[in-house]
Structure 1
Amino acid sequence: MPENGLQLSEITLDNTLSSFDNRDVDSRKVDIIYGIDDTPPWYLCLFMALQHYLTMIGAIVSIPFILTPALCMAEDDPARSYIISTMLFVTGIVTFVQTTVGCRLPLVQGGTISFLVPTLAILNLPQWKCPSNEILSEMSPENRTELWQVRMRELSGAIAVSATFQIIVGFGGIIGYILKFITPLTIVPTVSLVGLSLFENAADAASTHWGISAGTFILLTLFSQLMSNVKVPIIHYKKGNGIRIIWFELFKLFPVLLTIIVMWIICTILTVTDALPVSHPARSDSKINIIEQSPWFRLPYPGEWGVPTVSLSGVLGMLAGVLACTVESISYYPTTSRMCGAPPPPVHAINRGIGIEGLGTMLAGLWGSGNGTNTFGENVGTIGVTKVGSRRVIQWACALMILQGIVSKFAAIFIIIPEPIVGGIFCVMFGMICAFGLSALQYVDLNSARNLYILGFSMFFPLVLCKWMAKNPDVIHTGSDLLDSVLTVLLSTTILVGGLCGCFLDNIIPGTDAERGLEAWAKQMALSTPKDEQEKFNHESNIFDFPIGMDLIRRWSWTSYLPFSPTYKPKPFCPYQSKQS
């Protein structure tokens, strides 16, 4: 049994061995317990689905803590939990579509931090800035509700329209052409600046009580890094074998959840003993009324906050988030496929995956979640840890997401997490996003003065420009209010400025393919199967086909021209082909 296999692998071992008895097992199955097409027993599916759900819930919950203050929403407004419910509901729907007819990889599609950067840039425009606290305190509940809903409608329209770009490049099969210009030195500033741009939001939340925030990220470091291999005993009963002790790697799978629980208990003790003043953000009862005011059941629906509005500045600003998500998701496809012991995903699956992600972002906008959808890297990591790559498990997780999206009181529980705990989580989470972007530097030559120049400028200049734009939002005067708004949003979006700088400089400044990292990146992103491995993948050629209707599709010759059809026959997909090869 692999040391880092599924924590309940003693339970699943018998099922795993029996499921493999009647089929060919190649070398790729050694480190995988359940592959993409495998169906574990329903009770194991439920447990494994809960693992994926708990893995992504932390990232989902973190988004409204940044979004709702920018929307001018009151801290005790129960609608905060409604936004979480809507996000979870849409996440469940889009993930099910993606795993069933999209790329068909076991990927979770949900809200992403990448959309928060352009969102904050849009809401920083003069017409969307929140009124002063004095004005807010004098507003009626109805006017206060309309205050944040009109902003949500602006975001919803911008997200939904900008997602059409992702739909077109996905279903239109033009991903390969775009990726020819998106190099590692484009990815680094684009993704890294997502985390760096949000440091002020992390500081605002953490500074409400630095002691609790420090305890949060210290515990998170302890659980996730120092105790990841520590196993705890649990009692397990199996018919025929009786009661026995199995060892469960608790800290490896649930470090965030454990950290929140421990620190929440500490905040509760400080609240009960009155060590914290009344209404302090660290008190566990500061927002308890949200649970009381939230209904038990609520079905999210499109246009819940009103008909979305559309502005050119909002759409172009959100396009930066769409581009960042597109590049990030594509990088996960071959990685996830390898983890699941499957062949590299063919071009039609990549095209469908990006198209479905764009469709999911459009739905998230129309439903009023205030965010888009993207592949969750955390859940990709969970597959690597648990060695469970079954798409059926993810589909069970979809049911849990949709269920929680309907039960509002359960979503409200996450809103009342004390603010300094959230701030401590932000300090780690945003840092990890930054580090993920920087990890693309492994492909480039860091001894090259050319690369260092591009990297330094594309990382530093966007922070300088966007910080200045935030302090001077009225500085642009072109004579057109529309053009002023468009330029202000674009120049205030760090990931867009950084990505454009890196892309432009890397494509015009001379450099060899090896120096620019294109040769190493091409091997990472190669989505075609080597000839010497083709034979062992032949029996699994239907992994990425549609679950139904394939006989009919194969009879229609015209489907071979559709970039998203399983019968599509393009050239091998490798966007960074080396000039020397």
Structure 2
Amino acid sequence: MSVKQRRNVEELEPPSSELLYGLEDNPPWYLCVLLGTQHFFTMVSTTIPIPFVLASLVCLEPSDPARSYLVSTIIFVSGLITFLQSTIGVRLPIVQGGNFAYLIPTVALLSANFASCESQRAANLTAAQQQEEWQARMRAIQGNIAVSSVFQIILGFTGVIGVMLKWITPLTIIPTVSLVGLSLFDLAADRSSQHWSVSMSTTVLMVLLSQYMKDVSLSLPTGYRRGYGFIYSEVQVFKMFSIIVALLTSWLVCWVLTVTDTFPPGCPSRTDRSTLISNTPWFRIPYPGQWGMPTVTVAGVLGMMVAGLASIIESVGDYYATARICGTPAPPVHAINRGVGIEGVGVTVAGLWGSGSGTNSYSENLAAITVTRVGSRRVIQMSAMVMLVAGSVCKFGALCASIPEPIVASLYWIMFSLITSVGLSTLQFVDLNSSRNLFVLGFTLFFSLSVSKYVKANPESLKTGLPLLDQTLLVLLQTTIFLGCVLGCFLDNTIPGTKEERGLVSWRAQQGDSKSCPGYDLPYGMDAIRRRKWLRYLPFSPTFRGFHSAKYNVTVNTTTSTPVPVTTTTSTPVPVTTTTSTPVAETTTSAAII
């Protein structure tokens, strides 16, 4: 989440005293189910485009039940990871879901190692051969995602992420995140071109509901009291469900136009083109290796690692924003480390299960917390249960996968443009009057897009004589976020410039103060963890306060427990008292910051 988005959330966020349920509170079970289902639908509306893109990239036919399997898998995996993150990870009410950043290296990987879908269809393959072709693509995607997650796990559980963030500056983040959206405009245009009128009308409806009507409230029944009847409340439906309402409305219109034969046979927007729902079983539980044994390449792993780094940056920002909304102190260092590490574990799970995408936190669900004024962790855990159930009901996945592609293409316009603006919003920290900053930003964006476009059009130009190196360079140089991250980081950290000019002062100040809070402790075993002093050296342990905290704690304990320094210097007790209290205060502060 961008800083601008987080500030917008802060303007809407209720003070902690106005929260109906805080982080540690447990609402009634029925309220948990209702609010958890709301979070589920909010997540699904953002996640649906990912399996649609993957289905087209791996050359799946419209009526193939595997389309519904992809949708069900990513929902199921999101439920697993959401439960892990909210229970033993950062322990904030954060929903985890599919990550668009992984689509960039996926496109580069497939274009470098597999034939196009057009040439595959022209080959007149049998059904068994077609299945092997798309599963081979999925195995390549999931294997590289799973192996790349080791990088994210190490960054989190070793605490290295804190060191790396010192080098990851705003001018590194801006091109890395923005290029995720900018690189996918070809995909959005291609899918929308199947039926421009449907795609554009759905896009207009989404903009109308989400931007112009977001503050419109509808009086809806929210309860029932015996003797009084239904209880009505003002609900801002469009603020939370604008995408779902727009999709369902366009889908209904397309169904009417299909029934009345207004859409001619073969039209991509017809709702009767696919027998997907009838061909899909009711229940199917996703499992690891469901597409076969994953395959791995060096180039694919490196590309996915860059996507993981981009997701880490976004997720850490979401941690701070969620804590503010829930009226909880900013997450301490051990919670950040554990959150990043568990997110890496989630990417491993997503890779092994074959969802086709990594995962990260969803800032869209923060709006639901703001509106409902319920920041309970239990609600998100219930939402995770809903995801697991929905991911096991294949008919639900088939229903989502049967939405006409021109309708889903409208989501691409909204999502990809928001991703681009999320990256650009970080510009508020950078001095845009500096010619140095303008050069770093402009050159990084333009050079990354240009090189990627050239290499994609001329793959034969890379001939080093080493096949492995050729393949690695071919994938990496087509991955714009890799080029943007490396080039932006190198230029910003080597070209001379002040910290204020580069935006480092305000960027690091926005993280706030990280104080210890019981809400970030693990749910079980805290007494045993506190008794074992060696655990304070583990960056993901709740007793960890920084790599120098143990040293500082010894100094403080020695000073406070031993009265010798006070009694020795009896002639000047006041300076001794001042000297004793000052180091303790400074030590405590520095230990909390590190």
TM-score, normalization by structure 2: 0.88
Alignment partner, residue 532 of structure 2: 556
1:78·1:293 contact (CA, 8 Å) conserved in 2?
yes
The aligned amino acid for 2:360 is N
Cα shift readout 1:194-250 (whole Å, capped 9, x = no counterpart): 111111111111111111111111111111111111111223422354334322211
Alignment partner, residue 277 of structure 2: 291
Rounded to whole Å, the distance in 1 between the matches of 2:150 and 2:51 is 24
What are the within-5 Å matches in structure 2 for residues 407-556 of structure 1? 407-529=393-515, 541-556=517-532
Asked whether 1:83 is paired with 2:67, we answer: no
Q: Give 3-state SS (helix, strand or coil) of 1:275's partner.
A: coil
Q: Give 3-state SS (helix, strand or coil) of 1:397's partner.
A: helix
Rounded to whole Å, the distance in 1 between the matches of 2:249 and 2:474 is 43
Asked whether 1:33 is paired with 2:20, we answer: yes
Cα shift readout 1:150-196 (whole Å, capped 9, x = no counterpart): 11111111001000000001001111110011011111111111111
Alignment partner for residue 226 of structure 2, among 215, 239, 252? 239
Alignment partner, residue 20 of structure 1: none
What are the within-5 Å matches in structure 2 for residues 172-187 of structure 1? 172-187=158-173
Rounded to whole Å, the distance in 1 between the matches of 2:428 and 2:89 is 30
Alignment partner, residue 197 of structure 2: 211
Alignment partner, residue 332 of structure 2: 346
Alignment partner, residue 247 of structure 2: 260
Asked whether 1:383 is paired with 2:369, we answer: yes
Rounded to whole Å, the distance in 2 between the matches of 1:318 and 1:205 is 24
Alignment partner for residue 278 of structure 1, among 246, 260, 265? 265
Alignment partner, residue 335 of structure 1: 321
The aligned amino acid for 1:333 is Y
Rounded to whole Å, the distance in 1 between the matches of 2:385 and 2:121 is 44
Rounded to whole Å, the distance in 2 between the matches of 1:189 and 1:370 is 24
What's the CA shift for 1:335?
1.1
| Paired-residue identity, % | 50
Rounded to whole Å, the distance in 2 between the matches of 1:228 and 1:484 is 50
Alignment partner, residue 4 of structure 2: none
Cα shift readout 1:363-383 (whole Å, capped 9, x = no counterpart): 110111111111112112322
What are the within-5 Å matches in structure 2 for residues 55-74 of structure 1? 55-74=42-61
2:240·2:367 contact (CA, 8 Å) conserved in 1?
no
Unaligned runs of 5+ in 1: 6-26, 530-537
What's the CA shift for 1:523?
1.2
1:206·1:420 contact (CA, 8 Å) conserved in 2?
yes
The aligned amino acid for 2:443 is F
2:284·2:392 contact (CA, 8 Å) conserved in 1?
yes
What's the CA shift for 1:44?
1.2
Alignment partner for residue 567 of structure 1, among 534, 540, 543? 543
Rounded to whole Å, the distance in 1 between the matches of 2:407 and 2:154 is 40
1:237 to 1:219, Cα distance in 2 relative to 1, 3 A = same
2:62·2:276 contact (CA, 8 Å) conserved in 1?
no
1:562 to 1:244, Cα distance in 2 relative to 1, 3 A = closer
Q: Give 3-state SS (helix, strand or coil) of 2:436's partner.
A: helix
1:414 to 1:283, Cα distance in 2 relative to 1, 3 A = same
Rounded to whole Å, the distance in 1 between the matches of 2:374 and 2:403 is 31
What's the CA shift for 1:275?
1.5
Q: Give 3-state SS (helix, strand or coil) of 1:525's partner.
A: coil
The aligned amino acid for 2:182 is L
Alignment partner, residue 304 of structure 1: 290
The aligned amino acid for 1:165 is F
Instruction: Report which of the two structures shows the higher radius of gyration computed on alpha carbons.
Output: 2
What's the CA shift for 1:572?
9.6
Rounded to whole Å, the distance in 2 between the matches of 1:244 and 1:299 is 39
The aligned amino acid for 1:559 is L
1:126·1:474 contact (CA, 8 Å) conserved in 2?
no
Q: Give 3-state SS (helix, strand or coil) of 2:335's partner.
A: helix
1:212 to 1:141, Cα distance in 2 relative to 1, 3 A = same
Rounded to whole Å, the distance in 1 between the matches of 2:133 and 2:486 is 34
The aligned amino acid for 2:520 is F
1:189·1:495 contact (CA, 8 Å) conserved in 2?
yes
Alignment partner, residue 326 of structure 1: 312
Alignment partner for residue 155 of structure 2, among 143, 164, 169? 169
Tell me the number of residue pairs that the alignment of Structure 1 and Structure 2 aligns. 538
Alignment partner, residue 23 of structure 1: none
1:301·1:367 contact (CA, 8 Å) conserved in 2?
yes
Q: Give 3-state SS (helix, strand or coil) of 2:510's partner.
A: helix
| Higher alpha-carbon deviation: 296-305 or 386-395 | 386-395
Rounded to whole Å, the distance in 2 between the matches of 1:86 and 1:457 is 39
Q: Give 3-state SS (helix, strand or coil) of 1:87's partner.
A: helix
The aligned amino acid for 1:199 is F
Rounded to whole Å, the distance in 2 between the matches of 1:571 and 1:241 is 60
The aligned amino acid for 1:457 is F
Q: Give 3-state SS (helix, strand or coil) of 1:132's partner.
A: helix
Asked whether 1:145 is paired with 2:145, we answer: no
What's the CA shift for 1:133?
5.3
Alignment partner for residue 36 of structure 2, among 30, 40, 49? 49
Rounded to whole Å, the distance in 2 between the matches of 1:416 and 1:340 is 37
Unaligned runs of 5+ in 2: 1-7, 550-589
What's the CA shift for 1:286?
1.5
